[in-house]
């Protein structure tokens, strides 16, 4: 019995010695560390990378950025459509119009204003309505109009149109002139996007008269019927093209 007891005690002692050794061998130094003991990744490389990119991007923008106006395909296409329409209006000629310094009109034509009661597309010739790239937005509250009653061959026709100063001074104001076989149509319009954009310009206050020169090179007939369209009225009158040797006077 004594021998058996000694053997059991020896076995227990051996097992007790072997267990700590086995535990030490199974645990690595990293497994002993808790998450709190681990050091975080340093942030300075990330900060340096971001700062370097910002410096390079700024240098690139100031070195290679184009200074001219960016190319806008939609606007360029719209301008090409407008130019094509002006050149091919089913024999309607688009006449050049230039704003000039104020001059006196010695012999004025008799102009008859009429209140407009129809939409513009119902009053204009169908060919013009079809080919114009956009619906004209006509100026409101034009107060008076004067025009030469006659012009000589290759000389411009002058008209004087009084309107609210906000429209007269705006670079968006255009007088579109279209001619065909003795008919001259003038559209006093604002090149704005819509009626809401026009409403932002004040039509109250001071008035201003614009003197406008209209090219007459394509005009071959002796008598021309003129119509000028504004938002509320249409102005009708006739002008004559004088032959050489005829004095520029309504009495002739």
Q: CB–CB of 239/109 below 8 Å?
A: yes
pLDDT band at 11 (very low <50, low <70, confident <90, very high): low
* pLDDT at res. 239: 94
* For the chain, counts of helices (H) and of strands (E): 8, 11
Neighbours of 91 (CB within 10 A): 9
Residue 10 pLDDT greater than 60, yes or no: no
What's the pLDDT score for residue 5?
Answer: 54
Domain parsing of the chain, residue ranges: 77-242
Share above pLDDT 90 across residues of the chain, in percent, rounded to a whole number: 35
What is the reported pTM?
0.62
What pLDDT is stored for residue 28 in this prediction? 52
Average pLDDT score over residue span 145-149: 93
Taking a C-beta distance cutoff of 8 angstroms, is the pair 216, 151 a contact?
Answer: yes
Position 157 scores a pLDDT of 92
Q: Are 158 and 213 within 8 A, CB to CB?
A: yes
Residue pLDDT, tens place only, 189-238: 998 888 888 888 877 878 999 999 999 988 888 899 999 999 999 999 99
Q: pLDDT for 30-68, tens place per residue?
A: 555 566 667 777 888 888 889 999 999 888 888 877 666
Averaged pLDDT of the chain: 80
Tokens for 238, please give them. Answer: 């006739």
Q: Give the pairing of strands 207-214 and 233-242.
A: unpaired
């Amino acid at each position: 019995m004594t021998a058996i007891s000694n053997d059991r005690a020896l076995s227990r002692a051996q097992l007790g010695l072997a267990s700590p050794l086995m535990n030490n061998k199974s645990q690595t130094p990293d497994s002993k560390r808790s998450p709190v003991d681990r050091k975080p990744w340093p942030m300075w490389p990330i900060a340096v990378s971001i700062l370097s990119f910002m410096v390079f991007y700024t240098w690139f923008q100031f070195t290679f950025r184009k200074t001219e106006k960016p190319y806008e395909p939609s606007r360029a296409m719209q301008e090409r459509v407008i130019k094509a329409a002006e050149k091919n209006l089913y024999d309607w000629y688009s006449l050049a119009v230039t704003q000039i310094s104020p001059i006196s009109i010695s012999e004025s034509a008799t102009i008859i204003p009429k209140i407009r009661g129809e939409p513009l597309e119902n009053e204009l010739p169908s060919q013009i309505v079809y080919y114009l790239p956009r619906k004209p937005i006509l100026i409101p509250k034009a107060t008076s109009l004067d025009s030469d009653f006659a012009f000589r061959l290759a000389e411009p026709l002058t008209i004087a149109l009084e309107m609210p100063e906000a429209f007269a001074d705006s670079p968006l104001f255009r007088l579109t002139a279209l001619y065909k076989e003795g008919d001259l149509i003038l559209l006093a319009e604002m090149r704005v996007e819509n009626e809401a954009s026009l409403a932002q310009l004040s039509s109250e206050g001071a008035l201003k008269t614009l003197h406008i020169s209209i090219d007459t090179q394509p005009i071959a007939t002796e008598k021309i019927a003129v119509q000028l369209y504004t938002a509320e009225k249409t102005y009708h009158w006739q002008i004559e093209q004088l032959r050489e040797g005829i004095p520029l006077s309504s009495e002739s």
